[in-house]
């Protein structure tokens, strides 16, 4: 059945993806112009502490997955794929999950918009809250070495996820 807009599912996905990514950058730039870079970054940090929780809960519901490391691995594959990262996800025996990002669409947008000089600062803040917030929804923690980030000329981002000792409710 055709969508009432006449658009294909692929066109709808592209429209929504571009709207999602562009509104993120647009509101940041407008906040920065009005209130300065530090304030815009602080508000961005607050947003990215909440949005991943919403995404994680939605994916848990839609995929019918558990709130554990195994569920996190499934949800990360979905999230990172939908967000158009290029990545490898490896389940380790510790138990742990390691994600290596070889392409970050957010970093590419910053470079394309002429803001690569801010990429390390923005990426350090956002990546420091986004994936850890997502992981906590699966009773896991997340860490990444600061020298292993694309936005800091690290060539890749490496994130390490492990179960929390004390699950959150």
Mean pLDDT on 11-32: 92
Identify the pLDDT of residue 146.
Answer: 62
Answer for the pair 29, 57: CB distance below 8 angstroms, yes or no.
Answer: no
Query: 132 near 159, Cβ under 8 Å?
Result: no
Burial of 98 (0-12, 13-18, 19+ CB in 10 A): middle
Residue 3: predicted pLDDT: 78
Phi, psi (degrees; rounded to nearest 5) at 64: 60, 45
Domains of the chain in sequence order: 9-163 (3.30.1380)
Lowest-confidence pick of 1-10, 81-90, 106-115, 136-145? 1-10
Strands laid side by side in the 140-143 sheet: 86-92, 96-103, 157-163, 140-143
In terms of pTM, does the model score above 0.85? yes
More confident residue, 78 or 152: 78
Split at pLDDT 50, 70, 90, the class of 119 is confident
Q: To the nearest whole number, what is the mean pLDDT of the chain?
A: 91
The C-alpha atoms of residue 135 and residue 166 are separated, in whole angstroms, by 13
């Amino acid at each position: 059945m055709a969508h009432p807009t006449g658009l294909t599912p692929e066109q709808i996905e592209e429209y929504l993806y571009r709207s999602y990514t562009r509104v993120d950058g647009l509101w940041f730039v407008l906040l920065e112009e009005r209130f300065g870079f530090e304030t815009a970054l602080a508000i961005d940090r607050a947003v990215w502490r909440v949005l991943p929780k919403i995404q994680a809960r939605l994916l848990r519901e839609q995929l019918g997955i558990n709130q554990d490391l195994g569920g996190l691995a499934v949800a990360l594959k979905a999230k990172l794929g939908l967000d158009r990262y290029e990545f490898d996800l490896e389940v380790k025996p510790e138990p742990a999950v390691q994600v290596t990002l070889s392409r970050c669409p957010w970093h590419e947008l910053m470079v394309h918009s002429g803001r690569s000089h801010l990429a390390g600062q923005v990426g350090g803040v956002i990546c420091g809250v986004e994936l850890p917030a997502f992981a906590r929804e699966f009773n896991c923690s997340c860490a990444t070495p600061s020298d292993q980030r694309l936005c800091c000329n690290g060539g890749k981002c490496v994130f390490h996820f492990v179960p929390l000792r004390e699950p959150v409710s």
